[in-house]
Amino acid sequence: MKFRSFAISSCCGLAAFLFTLSGCDTPRTAPRGADNLELHTGRLRQANPLDIAVLPVQNNSGREDVPVDGLRTAFHHGLVRQRYTPLSLEYVDSKIVDPNPADANTAEASYTPGDTHENAILQLFVTRWDDSRWKSSAELRIDGEIYLLDVAQPDPAKALWGGKISRNVSVLARRQVIASDGELLDEALAQFADDVLASLPARNPEQVQ
């Protein structure tokens, strides 16, 4: 009987141990931004930029209906949530946009990094804009590249942070409460910006530059 009692006790202990192990194996929710696999951090911690100039979005998608202004605004707001200080878009435009350009495609040709006394530049390139499912499912597919560049070395190969991005954005659940298609699109752009910038380490306000 003593042997039987010991065996039962051992089995109960083993079951509890296995249950503990199974709890450790329970899948955990990945941190937001962990799925931006091609976004990498370079010398961001050392540079610790504060003032950032968000340049006009470069549309390389071949489509003329990409809401570049809305995307730019969404990333401007997103930087604030990451503890950075993006310069006013109006101020940046007053410094980098020629009011009478010879060629509309070279409106920023006169801009030199540092002209707005920024510490860094945020540049977004859109290479694909797919809204074929927008009317049916309030879904967008956006591909491109994004870089946070040091004004002293504005070379994407030496970016403080950035890389390629490719994301699907769905705001179908919000369609029931937002009547305006324009407002719904703004929410989709804000979600896209936040999902991308979730991979950007928040600025350390205590670190002295």
Q: Do the domain assignments include residue 81?
A: yes
pLDDT tens-digit series, residues 96-119: 765 454 444 444 556 788 888 899
Please choose, from the candidates 163, 155, 157, the residue with its C-alpha nearest in 3D space to the C-alpha of residue 127. Answer: 163
Give the whole-angstrom CA distance, residue 30 versus residue 24.
Answer: 15
Residue 59 lies in domain = 38-197
CATH (domain of 166): 3.40.50.10610
19 in a structural domain = no
**13-38: pLDDT as tens digits:** 444 433 444 444 544 555 566 677 78
Domain total of the chain: 1
Q: What is the Cα–Cα distance from 133 to 140, expressed in whole angstroms?
A: 7
Is residue 185 assigned to a domain?
Answer: yes
What are the C-alpha distances in Å from 184 to residues 158, 190, 205? 36, 10, 33
Give pTM, 2 decimals: 0.78
Cα separation of 193 and 25, whole Å?
A: 32
pLDDT of 12: 45
Is 8 a domain residue? no
Is 59 within the bounds of a domain?
yes
Is residue 174 situated within a structural domain? yes
Residue 18 located in a structural domain: no
Assigned domain for 28 exists: no
